[in-house]
Amino acid sequence: MACSEFSFHMPSLEELAEVLQKGLTDNFADVQVSVVDCPDLTKEPFTFPVRASSVY
C-alpha cells in the first residue's frame, strides 16, 4: 500500500484573523477580529476548575 505525502498551507494567526474579519463583515454589521493572548480561564469570570495544558 502506497503512502502519499501532501503539503498543506498553515496560515499565521494574523492571516486567519484577516480572513475571519472579511467573512464576518459580509454577514454582520459590527465585527472586530484580533489575535490576543489567551486569558487565564481559572480566574473570574470563567473560574474553570483546571488549568489547560499549553502542550498538545
Assess whether pLDDT exceeds 60 at residue 11.
yes
Half-sphere exposure at residue 8, Cβ-oriented, CA atoms within 13 angstroms: 5
pLDDT value, residue 31: 95
Assess whether pLDDT exceeds 60 at residue 55.
no
Residue 49 corresponds to which cell in the numbers above? 476548575
DSSP calls for 1-56: ------------HHHHHHHHHHHHHTT-SS------PPP-TTSTTT--SSPPPS--
CA 39 to chain centroid? 13
Identify residue 24 by its one-letter amino acid code.
Answer: L
pLDDT value, residue 1: 75
pLDDT value, residue 39: 85
The pLDDT > 90 percentage for the chain reads 55
